[in-house]
Structures are given as C-alpha cells and as structure tokens.
Amino acid sequence: MLYPVPAVMVSCARPSERPNIITVAWTGTVCSNPAMVSISVRPQRYSYNIIRETGEFVINLTTEKLVRATDYCGVRSGRDVDKFREMNLTAGKADKVAAPLIEESPVNIECRVKDVMELGTHHMFLAEVVAVDIDDRYLDASGKFNLNKAGLIVYSHGEYLSLGEKLGNFGYSVKKRIKPS
C-alpha cells in the first residue's frame, strides 16, 4: 500500500539479441554514496534472465508522452514482440553498460548488478549506478536540470498519473522567515 510508485521502463539486452524493455513499478534509490538502486522483477519475466545473465540494465524515467509505451512494455512479453519497434522507441548507446537506453526518456540510469535477493514472488536486483544520462532539453540557461518540466508519471492502484503541482521545496518547513522591517 505504498503508493504512488515510479513507473519506469528498464531496458536490457543479451549480446547478439534484440534489446528488450520491461516496465517496473518496484524500484528506488537505496544509497547515495555509492549511488545504488534496486528493481524487483518476477523470475518468470523474459527480462529477468537477461538481467541476471548480463548483470546490467538501464532505468529509463517515464513521462506523459511515454505513458502508452510504459503500459505496453509492462503487458507484452519481449519473447513475442520487439517492444522498441512496436512503440517507436530508439535504443541508444549507453556510456558504461552494454544495455541500451531509451533515447525518448529524459533520464537514463545505467546500472550494474551487485547482488540479487530472492525474496519470494519477486527477486530484487541491487545495482550500482555507473552513469546517468540526461536530456539537455531540460537544462536551463544556467545549467540547472529541470526534471519536473518533463511531465513525469507515477503508478497507483492500476492507474498511471501525472505528477501534480509543486507544494514546497526541501526544507521549506523549517526555513527561517525574514521579518519585514
């Protein structure tokens, strides 16, 4: 009942095979130094063995423009269809891993598996972040990355939702107020 959760597309590939995408909602940051993330995948999924064998994957953040592809990649199997082709997505070259990134995504997080925890219905891949690729369209004139302008989406109880309006900044609840003079 911890909702909403991120809905991300995870790309992966075996050498000499077409790349694949799986949609994952059970993902998150687990450490900042070293930067580490996790994804949880059912062993029955086609992508599971690809990730287990190669030890690499890319987490691709999703947006309102990618919501249809996000859903499709979660309900169709890469055993049966080429998800990149079917969803008109571009498999880009990652910097540090062999798995492709999705060029249409505003952020691509390149990962190397450090451990696999067999937890039950899902196995959790604990991975080190080895590179982060960002879409320059979201950089402002000062070089600040404005990810919130990308139209990110989340998943909650079977529905995809866009993120709402800004409610505050980190630390605003304890920020000292300037008294008028």
Span 84-113, pLDDT tens digits = 999 999 999 999 999 999 999 999 999 999
Residue 169 covered by a domain? no
Q: Are 152 and 63 in contact (CB under 8 A)?
A: yes
The rounded Cα 13 to chain-centroid distance in angstroms is: 16
Residue 168 covered by a domain? no
- Specify the CATH number for the domain of residue 150: 2.30.110.10
Altogether, the residues listed in the chain come to a count of: 181
CA distance 138 to 106: 8
pLDDT at 174: 87
pTM over 0.85: yes
Helix (H, G, I), strand (E, B) or coil at 26: coil
Q: Span 152-175, mean pLDDT?
A: 90
Residue 84 is part of which domain span? Answer: 5-162
pLDDT at 172: 85
Residue 155 covered by a domain? yes
Q: Are 29 and 64 in contact (CB under 8 A)?
A: no
Q: Span 56-66, mean pLDDT?
A: 98
pLDDT at 96: 98
Q: How many domains does the chain have?
A: 1
Q: Which phi and psi angles does 107 have, rounded to 5°?
A: -140, 130
- Which pLDDT tens digit goes with each residue over 19-39? 999 999 999 999 999 999 999
Residue 177 covered by a domain? no
Q: Are 79 and 46 in contact (CB under 8 A)?
A: yes
Residue 171 covered by a domain? no
Inform me whether the pLDDT recorded for 181 exceeds 80: no
Residue 41 covered by a domain? yes
